[in-house]
Every structure is written in C-alpha cells, then in structure tokens.
Structure 1
Amino acid sequence: MTAADLRDLLAEATDLTIVCHNNPDPDCLASALALGRIAAAAGVDERRILYSGDISHQQNRAFVNLLDVDLASLDPATVLDRETGSLLAFVDHGVPGRNNRVPEGTPVDIVIDHHPHEALDARFVDHREDVGATATILTEYVRELDVELDATLATALLFAIRRETLGFLRGVTRAEYEGAAFLHEPADADLLRRLASPAVTGATADAIATAIENRSIRGSTLLSNVGWTSERDALPQAADYLATLEGVETAVVFGIVDERVQLSARSTDSRVHVGDALADAFDDVGNAGGHREMAGGEIPLGIFADPAADGETLCDLVETVVVARLADAFGLSDVEGEAETEE
C-alpha cells in the first residue's frame, strides 16, 4: 500500500488513536508523532497518542520532554469502544496483545512497522522488515505527501533513525541515508546533541554495574542477571555495552522489574537470530522476539517461580529457569560456562 492510500483512509476518519508499544522508544515515538502530523494534514482534528508501561530510559524521557510530545496512558476500554470513523493505529509494533496492552483480537485499522511478524491484519498495512527503522517509513510518507516538516518533526525522525540503527551501523539501508539527507537541513542540530547525551541516573548506573559484575560467558554468549531493579531501561544499555566485550558475540541481560521478568539481547553473530531465539525460549509463557541483532521480551514473574518465595530465593529461581531456557534456545547446553568478573 502507498502513502496516498494512507492519506485517503485518514481523510475518512473522525478521529485517530495511535497506540505505541510498551515502554516506547524514539523510533516508536517519532513514528507516532509523524503519523499524527499526516493525519492532521488529512483533516483529522482529533488525534491522540497512547502508551503503556514506562518512559524510564533517560533518552526516551529526554525525547518526550525536549520535543514536547503529547502522550497519555492507554486505557484498553478506549480502543475497544470506538465509534464509526474512529481509527486505531499501531506504529513500530503490529499485533494486539504483543508488546502492548491492547486486548487480543482488537480490530486495528493501520499498522506501520519494521519488526518481524508472520502476519498482520489491518485495513492499511506497511510492514517492511528490510528497513532499519519505522521512522524511515514515516519519513518517506512525510516527503511523498508533502506534509509540513518543522524542526520538531525533522529532529524527532532523524534522531529516531540514528538511534534505531546505532548511528547508521546496525540494520541500516539506503532508505535510512536518503531519509536522513531529507531531514538534515530542517532538523535542530543542538537539540539532536542534547537528545544524544541525556543525564544518566545513579540507579541506572548501578543496574548496569550489576549486569557487568554478574556476567557469565559460555563460548561467545554472555548472560547476566541484574536481579530486582526499578531501572528496566538499564537492561538494553547493559546489553549494548556487554556485547562489545572481547570474545563476546551475543549478550542477554535479564532482571525482575515489578511483576515481570524483562530481557534484552544483542548479537553480532551471523549464525544467531536473537529475536527468533528469545521467541523460541519464551513465547509459550510471555512476549519475546525481535530482530537478528537486537531483541527483547517480558514474562509474568509467576510463570517462573513461587510468588510466596522471599526476594533472594525468587531471584535465584528466576535465574535458574531463564538461564536454562536461554541455554536451550542458544544451544549452550553443551558449552562449558565460565563466570567472569573483574577483580
């Protein structure tokens, strides 16, 4: 489907609800912002961007605050009880109940995503696994539909493309470079610098330090349990760092956040698809998956352990089950493990 098809669908709408995935990142937020602008240009006066989870990563908080993104918490009832002409859109995710709090089976009108999916069901679907960011697709729409591109929107989309591709080093395609060239001039360079270097909280630094201290390596795969933490977004940051260690090609970091086990994985091993591996390991008990080089997941805590156990015991039980499942998914059962810590 084309950008013109999207515009025509939006032109029939009375209002638009854009749902972000849980704990939305810059790619999701920028895509939602751009879709809202496209809808406004098509004559949709009532628009809202909803999300579930937390915006706790310092970069995500800076993105929302510095770009003044108008967000509201998702109430599942608002997406179930919709009148004729009210459209529901997903950006950077695609299936109700997977990485979002939308009830399974909810009809969706618009899906724009670059993550792997077997099948997507919506009136308008643009699903491109071959591009590096969902923001790349939205940038293409903005350009083709001649939507007004101010500094805020250009900065949001350019930063999202850069962040999702790790500075044009991961999963990047020609489309990302073309999109960046289009966005470069109207973007705010000072704001881009501020978004790239937000302040880090002490709690985040502590969680990353725990991930480093608790690392264990089996072959070229590193696993680390940070235990109980309030800093969910420290997990992907720790995984990014640990994946750069000498001899490490795949890093998986996990921890307990509230009542869920959260996982984040990174890999440079061409033989490994970490999204498929996490899905194989945990899809029967939660939501997990992603790209070949980057993936994540979340699983209800009660699936793995006795809720009546004390904190330390519960953490140990979770580690035993999660490591066993990861070992099976990554083929580590026959690889001798070695705990590695700094003196």
Structure 2
Amino acid sequence: MDARALFDLLADGDTLTVVCHNNPDPDCLASALALGRIAVAAGIDEYDIYYSGEISHQQNRAFVNLLDIDLSRFDEAAVRDREPGDLLAFVDHSKPGANNEVPEDVSVDVVLDHHPADDVQARFVDHREDVGATATILTGYVRELDVEVDETLATALLFAIRRETLGFLRGVTVAEYDAAGYLHDRIDEDLLHRLSVPSISSATVDAIADAIANRSVRGSLLVSHVGRTSERDALPQAADYLVTLEGVDTAIVFGIVDDDIHLSARTTDARVNVGEVLAAAFADVGSAGGHSEMAGGEIPLGIFADYGDDGPPLVDIVERVVTARLYEALNVDEEDER
C-alpha cells in the first residue's frame, strides 16, 4: 500500500469521478465515500459517485438513505469526455466493461479492489485479493493519511466490512479485525444498529420462500431458483440462508430478473471455488465469477429467445439448462438427488 502515491495523484487532479459497480453494495458505497473524503483532503473540491443498475436490497437502500450518500446515475459522457485533470476511479471492481457500464476503451486513473481479476490497468492500482473487503483497504488509507474519520464514514466502513465478511465469518483476515478496531471507537452505534436490521419487503420474503421450495440437493450441493422476480437481491440472501442447511456446503440460487438470469453462489467447502465454478459454467454466455466462497453471475436471457419470451415454459427451460451447466462444472451426478 502506497498511500502517499494515491494522495499525490489526487492532489494533482481537478475533479474525481468514482464509479461503483453495477447494483452497488455497502462495501462499494463505503469505499467510494472514503475515497471521496481522501480526494477532498488532497484538495479536490468536486467529486461525484456514479452507479448503474439498482439499489434494491433493503440493507443497501437503508445504507444510502441513512448515511445520506449523494449518488448519481452513470453518465458515459462524464467518464469518456474528461479533461486531463478529471480523474476516474473504480472501487470494489477493477476493469472497464466488467460489472460496470464504462466502455472498455476508457482509461482509469485509480483502482481499489479485492475481487479476483487479471491484468488490472490504471495509473494507481491497489488490487488485493487476499483481504476480505475493499472497505478494509480504504480504512488503511484514511488511517495512514490521517484523513478525518467522522461518525458517518466510520460507521459506513465498519458496516461494510461486517457485511462483506458476513459478520467476520466469511473471507475475513487479520486486516479486517485491525480495521474494525480502528473504526470502533469512532462509529455511531445507533446508526450501525439501524443499518444492521432494516425492514424486509414481502416480495423478498416470497422470493426466498420460492428458493426454499424449489431446492434440489445432490450430495452436499444445493441448487435452487426463484423463477421470475423483481427482487434481485433476494438471491444472495437466499444463498446465504440455504448454505446453512444441514448437509449442504455449497448453495447456488438463480432467477430471472427483467431480461437477465442472475446467479448467486455460496460455499463453506474449502475444496470448492464457486467463483471459478460459475466462470467455468457461464463465461461463454455471460459474465460470472467472484471469490472462492462467494460469487455471482449474469446471463442475458436472449440466449433462450427461441423458447419464447415469458411464462413457466421459459422458466422450466432456464432451470434445466442452468442446472445442467452447474452440475457439469462441478462434476456432479444428476441422478444423485436427496
């Protein structure tokens, strides 16, 4: 980590645009907020945080609303038509066109990320796959640079670290505990509690119930789907819940959201890397990947266009094709069901 190099790069800039990944989560949003604070400390008067997709998960909505984070919808012109002093940064993702709407030919100035990726290019790159959260990386920067960490920023970063590591139970490292120790005395405890227990919509409950009802288990692998849903963020919540089922150590849940198939995977099996599994199963038809313990994917529904455009028949076809690809990637016998 070279905090001073990042600070000097920002100090030479005039403006900063921080682009979140599609459908940003607390780790991404807290990291963007922290980078913006560093930019202000470096003398940048104006910074913007852009996002694409939706902020639909109840915790993510609460995070934005309770912390009053100023977000703008992604504007391609703002990242393409930049002046020399207009800096572009990615947090919690690393490459143009991968889980973001930035054109692949756009140059990036700053990348701060912990997700697996190859050949990350930027003027400043801090890409650490061995830490549990991007917010951990940003906590290190504000700490080393002695940037003011008020209650809002401290609460945002600590909540993001807790959420990304599933309460310090998934992918956690010593760095997360060290960051949490630094942030703890600076947080707003009431705000942290409200972020941790947001209300849940009935549609999300229904989607999770569908995932429970539609599950199939082969050995220690559970695969399920929610059919069509507007609750994209119910998929990771369902996967988090189903991987705790007795006898299950890998859970993969998928569903049709608008014009795409979304997948979410979780595992507690050290022999399984679900990021590699999803990439192997779907890289040829969509985008998929992630960490060894948690991963996600998105497949355009257009590949099923010949089967029709709505209704149970299409859902059935998607279920059969997606499940078959997952079983093949995991070398699972389709007949071994319980």
Shorter-chain TM-score category? over 0.9
User: Alignment partner of 2:337: what SS?
Assistant: strand
> Within 5 Å, which residues of 2 pair with 1:83-98?
83-98=83-98
Q: Which consecutive segments of 4 or more residues in structure 1 shift more than 3 A?
A: 307-310
Shift of 1:60: 0.2
Task: String of CA shifts for 1:123-145, please: whole Å, max 9, x gaps.
Answer: 00001111110000000000000
Distance 2:254 2:288 in 1: 12
Corresponding residue number in structure 2 for 1:338: 337
Task: String of CA shifts for 1:196-223, please: whole Å, max 9, x gaps.
Answer: 1000000000000000000001111000
Corresponding residue number in structure 2 for 1:144: 144
Partner amino acid, structure 1, of 2:265: A
> Within 5 Å, which residues of 2 pair with 1:125-164?
125-164=125-164
User: Alignment partner of 1:7: what SS?
Assistant: helix
Distance 1:221 1:25 in 2: 26
Distance 1:99 1:304 in 2: 22
> Within 5 Å, which residues of 2 pair with 1:1-343?
1-306=1-306, 308-332=308-332, 334-338=333-337
Distance 2:34 2:245 in 1: 37
Shift of 1:337: 4.1
Partner amino acid, structure 2, of 1:279: A
Equivalent residues of 1:109, 1:123 under 8 A apart:
yes
Distance 1:25 1:337 in 2: 36
Partner amino acid, structure 1, of 2:68: D
Distance 1:223 1:253 in 2: 6
Shift of 1:336: 2.4
Distance 2:73 2:236 in 1: 23
Distance 1:248 1:227 in 2: 22
Task: String of CA shifts for 1:159-191, please: whole Å, max 9, x gaps.
Answer: 001111111111111111110011001101111
Identity score, percent: 71
Distance 1:29 1:97 in 2: 19
Query: Given the superposition, is the C-alpha separation of residues 117 and 314 from structure 1 closer, same or farther in structure 2, using an over 3 Å criterion?
Result: same
RMSD over aligned Cα, in angstroms? 1.1
Shift of 1:146: 0.4
Partner amino acid, structure 1, of 2:162: R
Shift of 1:338: 2.6
131-140 or 163-172, larger mean C-alpha shift? 163-172
Partner amino acid, structure 1, of 2:337: E
Equivalent residues of 1:274, 1:291 under 8 A apart:
yes
Task: String of CA shifts for 1:79-126, please: whole Å, max 9, x gaps.
Answer: 111111111100000011111111122211100000111220000000
User: Alignment partner of 1:296: what SS?
Assistant: strand
Count of residues in correspondence between the two structures: 338
Distance 1:279 1:124 in 2: 27
Shift of 1:237: 0.2
Shift of 1:47: 0.3
Distance 1:22 1:311 in 2: 27
**Structure 1 unaligned regions, length at least 5:** none
Distance 1:261 1:122 in 2: 31
Per the normalisation by structure 2, the TM-score is 0.98
Distance 1:44 1:14 in 2: 6
Per the normalisation by structure 1, the TM-score is 0.97
Partner amino acid, structure 2, of 1:258: D
Shift of 1:335: 4.7
Partner amino acid, structure 1, of 2:93: H
